[in-house]
Chains A and B, each alone.
Chain A
């Protein structure tokens, strides 16, 4: 039996060697050239060109900036903003596929506002928006947020260095003060949600409510009107308080879980010691 088993093993191993050679190349192409899990890979005609040497250094920098951006982290791709067909190199920059390319300075708010609808509305009504409309040269989205390396925003985007490029910081400082507490509350809730996630709790309702509240609150920034911000802050604070209350309850629940499990652990540990001693005494 031993020899038969050994023979079977040798035959299977020998059969594996020649038959595998022909498939090696195909297998590596299918199985190893991409991450093991990544079946749906990113194939973008935009990236192919913009990473090639045909492009200038400045244009090659675009994919690098985009990959470091908040847009990238949220699956917002080139064609989501610029149109075109990223899956087909010949049609990637076709106007028939709604390709826009680099928008004109005055068109940038509408360009970004395709997705950021609420923000666009508040911006247009603000001093910034009115200035752009009147002169064609006022500040637009890119002035404060940049173009491709767009980062997740917090209140620190309002700072003396940035605002002083065009006007004095005094009014911006008052706006920042009005936003400060609510923004810090959002930051704390975000940290709490992150902590809960690490503890194995996915607070879906709270995540969604925060997302909605945060989006509306951020759009309020763009009014650059202190009285509007002060009026509406109460509404946001109330919403955030509700989320905070739910999160506190979840933290309390986690604390209860720990105590409950620890109690059971101690109960079983004591019983284990007792049973072990009885077992040992019987053996003796």
Chain B
């Protein structure tokens, strides 16, 4: 039956030829490491978010009077609603972690260099959209945590002279976080960001596919590579087929991701759900220890530490611009970071600073 179906499709569209030419003949460098699979795991995490988000959408009510209760109904009344929501929460946090790991590994291996600048830029935009997803999705449960964490984050633009208050009003749809903010964030989360994310992710994957995977800088075959002069189909001295070998490697990492997701759901179900997340929003009562999510802790603490907040925000914006344009700033040929002590030191310093600020923000 299966063979008959396969033959039928092959007869009509040439499926076997398509698989051979686009997957089997597509080559992957022989010495790729597990970090080469993080990108596809992130894509799977995004797909999980889209599917679980779609199911949540069936029962969620984006109104201040009903949002919290509808979430509680999903958790307790709707059959397996808890399962869908918990996957959505855990996978969202793991997705951010994966994006960071992907970014750091790409940086470490110098894979942003010519001809992959546009791939880096598209990846950077995807990171920003991911964070926008997190920020907009955070408010939707209308809990104490979501209400006050959103109040904190949407307060930040007030640091800008002249346009600050106006920007906050636009963001919130009023002076404070209200039902209007909820509707805005909801439409952003389910209407605006997904197609934007999908198109840029499509571009990112196309660029990776078209340019081909880079050889790790530490690998011996990297030395054999000639300097890049113009687009040409890559030929690796040592390689293996994308399908089935690399697909198996990727599948293994996707399964590891799913294992970790269910591990957290089984043994640490409240890791991303503190008590304030199960308390209805109360605009008249500020919880004593409200904090942004872990991925926003470092920039949050940085703003608290720098005495002049406008300067703090400017530094962060400049850091984002530098990060996005990094392939053009660091345009030299050397990819191996171990041969670039200044860059390595700078990278380690920034990583330590980020970690310190995160812990400081968490426990201050």
In the bound complex, CA of A6 to CA of B72 (Å): 51
- The digit string for A17-45, where 1 denotes a CB below 8 A from any CB of B, is 10111111001101110011111100000
Residues on the A chain within 8 Å of B76, using CB: 201, 203, 250, 253
* Nearest-CB residue, chain A, relative to B165: A30
Contact A31-B252, Cβ < 8 Å, known A24-B310, A202-B278, A269-B259? no
Stretch in B55-63, B98-106, B215-223, B269-277 with 4+ CB within 8 Å of A: B269-277
Q: Given A20-B314, A23-B310, A31-B159 in contact, is the A202-B331 Cβ separation under 8 Å?
A: no
A115 interface hit (Cβ, 8 Å): no
- Contact mask for chain B residues 262-298; partner A; CB cutoff 8 A; 1 contact, 0 none: 1101110110010101111001111100100000000
Q: Is the CB of B318 within 8 A of A12?
A: yes
Nearest A residue to B253, CB-CB: A272
**Residues 242 to 269 of chain B near chain A (Cβ within 8 Å):** 244-245, 248-249, 251-252, 255-256, 258-259, 262-263, 265-267, 269
Q: Does B322 contact A (CB under 8 A)?
A: yes
Q: Is B155 an interface residue (CB 8 A)?
A: yes
Q: Are A200 and B328 also in contact (CB < 8 A) when A23-B310, A31-B158, A257-B82 are?
A: no
Q: With a CB–CB cut-off of 8 A, which chain B residues contact A5?
A: 322, 325, 328-329
Q: What's the tally of chain A residues with a CB closer than 8 Å to chain B?
A: 55
A54 within 8 A of B: no
Q: How far is the CA of A22 from the CA of B164 in the complex (A)?
A: 14
Main secondary structure of the interface of B (DSSP, over half): helix
> Known contacts A37-B286, A257-B82: does B266 contact A198 (CB below 8 Å)?
no
Q: How far is the CA of A203 from the CA of B92 in the complex (A)?
A: 25
Task: Report Cα–Cα, A20/B321, bound state, in Å.
Answer: 20
B203 to chain A, nearest CB (A): 21
Q: Is A228's CB within 8 Å of the partner chain B?
A: no
In the complex the two chains form, is B259's CB within 8 Å of A268's CB?
yes
Check if A13 is an interface residue, CB within 8 A of chain B: yes
Q: Are B269 and A200 in contact (CB under 8 A)?
A: yes
The interface centre, meaning the residue of B248, B290, B330 with most chain A CB atoms within 10 A of its CB, is: B248
Q: Closest Cβ of chain B: how far from A38's Cβ, in Å?
A: 4
Give the contacts of A233-283 with B (CB-CB under 8 A): 250, 253, 257-258, 260-262, 264-265, 268-269, 271-272, 275-276, 278-279, 282-283
Cα–Cα distance between A1 and B151 once the two chains are bound (Å): 39
A-B pairs with beta carbons under 8 A, tally: 154
Q: Smallest CB-CB separation from B288: which chain A residue? A: A35
Q: Are A275 and B277 in contact (CB under 8 A)?
A: no
In the bound complex, how far is the Cα of B270 from the Cα of A138, in angstroms?
Answer: 51
The answer to whether A199 and B269 touch (CB under 8 A), given A37-B148, A275-B251, A275-B252, is yes
Contact A264 B262 (CB under 8 A): yes
Q: Is A199 a contact of B161 with CB atoms below 8 Å?
A: no
Contact between B314 and A13 (Cβ–Cβ < 8 Å)? yes
Pair B252/A276 contact, Cβ less than 8 Å: yes
B309 to chain A, nearest CB (A): 5
CA distance A191 to B278 in the complex (A): 16
Q: Chain A contacts of B151 at CB under 8 A?
A: 37, 39
The proximity string for B residues 304-319 relative to A, scoring 1 for CB distances below 8 Å and 0 otherwise, is: 1001111100110110
Of all A-B residue pairs in the complex, the 3 with the closest CB atoms, nearest first, are A265-B262, A272-B255, A16-B314
30 contacts between A and B (CB under 8 A): A1-B331, A2-B329, A8-B321, A9-B322, A12-B317, A16-B315, A19-B161, A20-B161, A20-B311, A20-B314, A23-B159, A23-B161, A24-B308, A31-B158, A37-B151, A39-B151, A199-B269, A200-B269, A200-B273, A258-B266, A260-B83, A261-B83, A262-B262, A265-B263, A268-B258, A269-B259, A271-B255, A272-B258, A282-B244, A283-B245
Give me the interface of B with A, judged by CB distance under 8 Å.
69, 72, 75-76, 82-83, 86, 148-149, 151-152, 155, 158-159, 161, 176, 240, 244-245, 248-249, 251-252, 255-256, 258-259, 262-263, 265-267, 269-270, 273, 275, 277-280, 283-287, 290, 304, 307-311, 314-315, 317-318, 321-322, 325, 328-331
Beyond A6-B329, A31-B309, A203-B76, 7 additional contacts (C-beta under 8 Å) are A37-B148, A197-B275, A199-B269, A201-B76, A202-B280, A268-B255, A268-B262
